[in-house]
């Protein structure tokens, strides 16, 4: 009896929970999901700061200042950014100040350069300003005790800026899973290498590594392994040392020379099933020494569809993401086709349209055929439910967005 797609997905998600939180330096946190709330332990800014280059003044000293009637003030000091020595403004004077410098005591505004004659010992001010003008008030950005980043946030450059600005140099995150990809087959050669008759370039190793990175994982490829029990067994045992997740591709058919089942059976609890999906069908899932392992088909299109359906959600779950699945939207299909009985069919399509006018899905390959060129032209995958035997032009299907 075949497993349904839903049953196989549940089995995949069941063996891989979110990774234990890890305390890492800021740069290593980028792309990871925050595992704790970040609470500010200081105000930002910590003191009142000048918002522009100019002169720190007391507003009361500028009464009557205008373009035609300047007010002259003695310039008593100069304050640069980062200058934390105590400075006090004497009434009737001004202090030259840089943007970002602490506002002197007694000053309540900053006059911009362009409203003065830029004097260094005396300055003529030709404009009045209101109290607080051109001043970044203490705690205007962040107040001490405020939660500034919440658990579940995916860290990016803007979050690093805030954390660093508050003095945090480490963050607690769910680390990106380390994923090892093993391509299996005597016929597989590396792209760029000489190809003999019967050889096949390793599309899966490169494509799956790219898909892992896109899902937020760290991908590690190993050289293709031949269909030989000892070689495959040694490779898997060696790679378990550095893998949070292990993916094999190929070696799943029942023909001679397909060794995955024989190798994994004594190593762990890996179950192999025919899954009611097209393309795909034969898949494996389980653990070896506690490490989740996913066995995908050797056909590149089937491998990509299986990864999108089963492995990508797992990697996002391990990484602590709240949204596990790709976004989807309904679209009318441009043409009809027959779908396999009792199987969930995944068809590469090109979506066009808009939210206001609706979307149309045009298959990029004849449904039922596994073609890399068609998958490459697609920007979405249309999903045909198991109970649907005939898709008619104009039918509405949910489509998984590949580029979102």
Q: What is the pTM of this model?
A: 0.84
Q: Quick one: pLDDT at residue 183? A: 94
Q: Quick one: pLDDT at residue 228? A: 84
Q: Would you say 272 and 223 are in contact if contact means Cβ atoms under 8 Å apart?
A: no
Please name the residues in contact with 195: beta carbons below 8 A apart, sequence gap of 6 or more.
189, 201
Q: Which of 292, 319, 346 is the last residue of a domain?
A: 319
> Domain check: are 220 and 238 in the same one?
yes
Strands 33-34, 170-174: parallel, antiparallel or unpaired by DSSP? antiparallel
φ/ψ of 119, rounded to 5, equals -70, 155
Q: Would you say 360 and 353 are in contact if contact means Cβ atoms under 8 Å apart?
A: yes
Residue 233 exposed, middle or buried by CB count within 10 Å (0-12, 13-18, 19+): middle
> Domain check: are 380 and 350 in the same one?
yes
Please name the residues in contact with 141: beta carbons below 8 A apart, sequence gap of 6 or more.
44, 45
> Domain check: are 305 and 233 in the same one?
yes
Which has the closest alpha carbon to 210: 176, 179, 189? 179
**Domain of residue 31, CATH code:** 3.90.105.10
State the Cα–Cα distance between residues 96 and 77, nearest whole angstrom: 6
> In the chain, how many domains are there?
4
> Domain check: are 217 and 119 in the same one?
no
Q: Would you say 300 and 207 are in contact if contact means Cβ atoms under 8 Å apart?
A: yes
**Domain of residue 340, CATH code:** 2.40.340.10
> Domain check: are 126 and 147 in the same one?
no
> Domain check: are 183 and 115 in the same one?
no
> Domain check: are 157 and 207 in the same one?
no
State the Cα–Cα distance between residues 266 and 289, nearest whole angstrom: 11
The pair of structure tokens assigned to 371 is 């073609």
Please name the residues in contact with 203: beta carbons below 8 A apart, sequence gap of 6 or more.
191, 300, 372
> Domain check: are 295 and 260 in the same one?
yes
Q: Would you say 240 and 246 are in contact if contact means Cβ atoms under 8 Å apart?
A: yes
> Domain check: are 183 and 283 in the same one?
yes
**Domain of residue 239, CATH code:** 3.40.980.10
> Domain check: are 195 and 300 in the same one?
yes
Q: Quick one: pLDDT at residue 254? A: 62
φ/ψ of 306, rounded to 5, equals -65, -40
Q: Which of 136, 160, 185 is the last residue of a domain?
A: 136
> Domain check: are 282 and 198 in the same one?
yes
Q: What angle do CA 392, 394, 400 make, to 5 degrees?
A: 95
Q: What is the pLDDT along the chain (404 residues), one digit of tens a residue?
A: 789 999 999 999 999 888 889 999 999 999 999 999 999 999 999 999 999 999 999 999 999 999 999 999 999 999 999 888 889 999 999 999 999 999 999 999 999 999 999 999 999 999 999 999 999 999 999 999 999 999 999 999 999 999 999 999 999 999 999 999 999 988 899 998 888 888 889 999 999 999 999 999 999 999 899 888 889 899 999 999 999 999 999 987 765 556 788 888 777 789 999 999 999 889 999 999 889 999 999 999 999 999 999 999 999 999 999 899 999 999 999 999 999 999 999 999 999 999 999 999 999 999 989 899 999 999 999 999 999 999 999 999 999 999 87
Q: Quick one: pLDDT at residue 82? A: 86
Which has the closest alpha carbon to 219: 241, 240, 192, 247? 247
Q: Which of 117, 150, 174 is the last residue of a domain?
A: 174
> Domain check: are 290 and 332 in the same one?
no
Domain with 288 in it: 5-19+176-319
């Amino acid at each position: 009896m075949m497993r349904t797609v839903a049953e196989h997905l549940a089995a995949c998600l069941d063996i891989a929970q979110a990774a234990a939180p890890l305390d890492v330096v800021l740069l290593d946190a980028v792309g990871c999901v925050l595992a704790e709330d970040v609470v500010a332990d200081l105000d930002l800014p910590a003191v009142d700061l000048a918002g522009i280059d100019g002169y720190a003044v007391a507003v009361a000293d500028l009464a009557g200042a205008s373009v035609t009637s300047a007010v002259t003030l003695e310039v008593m000091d100069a304050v640069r950014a980062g200058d934390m020595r105590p400075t006090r403004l004497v009434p009737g004077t001004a202090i030259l100040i840089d943007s970002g410098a602490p506002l002197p005591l007694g000053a309540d505004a900053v006059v911009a350069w362009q409203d003065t004659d830029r004097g260094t010992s005396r300055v003529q001010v030709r404009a009045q300003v209101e109290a607080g003008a051109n001043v970044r008030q203490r705690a205007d950005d962040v107040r001490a005790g405020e939660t500034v980043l919440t658990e579940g946030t995916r860290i990016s450059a803007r979050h690093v800026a805030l954390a660093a600005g508050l003095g945090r140099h480490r963050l607690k995150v769910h680390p990106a899973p380390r994923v090892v990809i093993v391509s299996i087959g005597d016929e597989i050669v590396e792209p760029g290498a000489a190809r003999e008759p019967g050889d096949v370039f390793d599309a899966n190793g490169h494509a799956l590594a790219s898909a892992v990175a896109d899902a937020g994982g760290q991908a590690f490829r190993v050289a293709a392994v031949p269909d030989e029990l000892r070689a495959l067994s040694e490779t898997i045992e060696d790679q378990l040392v550095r893998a949070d997740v292990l993916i094999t591709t190929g070696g799943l058919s029942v023909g001679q020379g397909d060794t995955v089942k024989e190798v994994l059976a004594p190593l762990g609890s890996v179950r192999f099933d025919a899954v009611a999906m097209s393309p795909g069908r034969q898949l494996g899932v389980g653990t070896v020494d506690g490490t989740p392992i996913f066995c995908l088909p050797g056909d590149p299109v089937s491998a990509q569809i299986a990864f999108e359906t089963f492995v990508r959600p797992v990697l996002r779950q391990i990484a602590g993401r709240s949204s596990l699945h790709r976004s989807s939207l309904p679209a009318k299909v441009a043409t009809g086709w027959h779908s396999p009985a009792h199987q969930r069919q995944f068809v590469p399509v090109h979506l066009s349209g808009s939210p206001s006018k609706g979307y149309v899905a045009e298959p990029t390959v004849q449904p039922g055929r596994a073609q890399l060129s068609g998958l490459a032209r697609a920007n979405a995958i249309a999903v045909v439910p198991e109970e649907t035997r005939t898709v008619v032009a104009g039918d509405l299907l949910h489509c998984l967005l590949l580029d979102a």
